[in-house]
Chains A and B, each alone.
Chain A
């Protein structure tokens, strides 16, 4: 480990010397870039992540001087991957730089990929608002490049987090849009009822029985087979329970569905919100009487 560290520092010092010296036709930047690359690799082997990251940034700057934009962007990505282990903010900053360069040189699919990576970093840090922003950007870029499945994955993340942030309408629109797209594709059509269920749960969270009923009718028009599914039955029964303000029935319906298809944490969270609202209504009724 110490051996790698010593070598890394040696390479870095040589690179710095090259940069401060004279060079013909920018060859000093080429030599320095080569040395910075070796130095960064040695730092990585020594598990000195911060130093490796800062060295990759120096390498990126050299590549920018040499007008090698692709290499510069890749160096920023490598720096981000080193910083990921120690400093998330630095990692995000490096990936942002890489994305800007990829956009400049027209590599939009690469830009989309790293925007998604930034979103994932924010997600791991529980910074949902920022995660949504970057997932949305990523989806936009993927859509421009016609990488529809990746775009849909990012959109689903946006919808999921929007619902958590109580932006239900936005979430509903995304899920319905994905369902509409999926219907015309033989491979994706089987996931339609899942998307419509998610949209329906978001409708339930809005606490408007008429809107829920209208949505269910709309979903039937969208996919004629939906009315025969357990998902449709779940939504219809919950809507009825909300209309009757019957918490017991609400619970029974969900338990029956869960016994067959276990609800994931996202659905459970949203349905608990619906239940809390329903309970509050019931208490209000009791207070009035």
Chain B
């Protein structure tokens, strides 16, 4: 995969703004300015083409002369540009030599490999972000449960407070009973809580012979032999594409599972928050009642 070649820098066509000349300029000035702008452009292009920034700390001992398999088929940028517009400038596909078409096939194969690799890279990034999101969701779930436990503790303390408020008051005062509309339930585990099931599903699949381990072992890829002609080169690229697409397929399957797990966890959170809301609402009602009783006692 690492051997795949990046497409070269496109030589930018002069924009309409550049080719436009001021009607009030003298001819000489126009020529001079054109000459200046074009020379400036080519020097910057040269700089871009030669500039190779080495940011990888592991690069120092890779032999500069040692090229990867794909670089042995280096093309001139002019040829590449012809490939980009499918030989429209040079009489179409049917007017090309066999050699030219072979080179074109290799170029297209490399381009496809690059595209597939980019897709894989994007999927990897998504997977990484999704993993972080799932960890955050797990943390959020724990926080909801803890908050609910605290609400249950408040209920316990409030009950003691209500007892004390009930026993206060004069000898002839009416006994006060706190109003309760419903009992405080505390955190409720919704359903069978599949997220926290303890039996290892993977182990069971393994015993059934459904594990993906053998598939994984077959993925230990041996590098193909150095290609000698265009056909072999295309085959190598196809092999790379197959490997990348296989990885991409696995990744997308995993992303789907992650999305499902995210959905079910958020649903669980919603239900837990509904229960929490009901309990907090009940606590609020009872605190108001206790405050009212306290004010009455102080008013006497």
Contact = CB atoms under 8 A, between A and B. Distances in A.
Task: Please indicate whether A and B come from the same complex rather than being unrelated chains.
Answer: yes
Interface of A: 109, 147-150, 183-188, 190-191, 194, 220, 223-230, 232-233, 236, 247-248, 250-252, 254-256, 258-261, 268, 271-272, 275, 279
B202 interface: yes
A286 B145 CA distance: 62
Interface in B165-205: 194-198, 200, 202-203, 205
Contacts of B138: 149, 185, 187-188
Given A187-B265, A228-B213, A248-B61, A223 B131 contact: no
12 contacts: A109-B146, A188-B135, A190-B127, A226-B216, A228-B250, A248-B63, A251-B58, A251-B61, A252-B2, A255-B58, A255-B62, A271-B58
A191 B56 CA distance: 26
- 9 tightest CB-CB pairs across the interface, nearest first? A228-B216, A227-B216, A149-B139, A256-B2, A224-B211, A186-B195, A187-B134, A187-B138, A224-B213
B97 to A, nearest CB: 34
Contacts of A183: 200, 202
Contacts of B197: 184, 186
A152 B190 CA distance: 25
Interface of B: 1-2, 56-59, 61-63, 117, 120-121, 124, 127-128, 130-131, 134-135, 137-139, 142, 146, 194-198, 200, 202-203, 205-206, 211-213, 215-217, 219-221, 247, 250, 254, 258, 261, 265
A229 B254 CA distance: 12
Contact of B131 (A194, A227, A250): A194
Contacts of B254: 190
Contacts of A254: 58
Contacts of B63: 248
Contacts of B127: 190
A256 B1 contact: yes
A255 to B, nearest CB: 6
A268 B198 CA distance: 35
A258 B56 contact: yes
A163 B56 CA distance: 22
A191 B131 contact: yes
B211 A225 contact: yes
B258 A230 contact: no
Given A187-B134, A187-B137, 8 more contacts: A184-B200, A186-B195, A186-B196, A191-B135, A230-B247, A250-B58, A252-B2, A271-B58
Contacts of A223: 202
Contacts of A250: 58
B213 A260 contact: no
Contacts of B128: 261
A187 B141 CA distance: 11
Contacts of A232: 216
A248 B265 CA distance: 46
Contacts of A150: 139, 142
Nearest to B205: A224
A248 B62 contact: yes
- Among A148, A184, A248, chain B packs the most CB atoms within 10 A around the CB of A184
Contacts of B205: 224
A251 B59 contact: yes
Given A220-B213, A224-B212, A248-B61, A187 B261 contact: yes
Contacts of B56: 255, 258
Contacts of B219: 228, 233
Given A149-B142, A233-B220, A271-B58, A190 B131 contact: yes
Contacts of B59: 251, 255
Contacts of A256: 1-2
A258 B220 CA distance: 17
A123 to B, nearest CB: 20
A193 to B, nearest CB: 9
A211 to B, nearest CB: 20
Contacts of B130: 190
Most chain B beta carbons < 10 A, residue from A224, A251, A252: A224
B139 A225 contact: no
Contacts of B212: 224-225, 228
A226 to B, nearest CB: 8
Nearest to A188: B138
A259 B6 CA distance: 12
Contacts of B202: 183, 223-225
Contact of A149 (B131, B135, B215, B216): B135
A190 B220 contact: no
A222 B215 CA distance: 17
B139 A272 contact: no
Contacts of B198: 184
Given A220-B213, A275-B58, A236 B117 contact: no
A226 B117 CA distance: 21
Contacts of A194: 131
A260 B124 contact: yes
A227 B142 contact: no
A271 B56 CA distance: 12
A42 B138 CA distance: 40
B124 A261 contact: yes
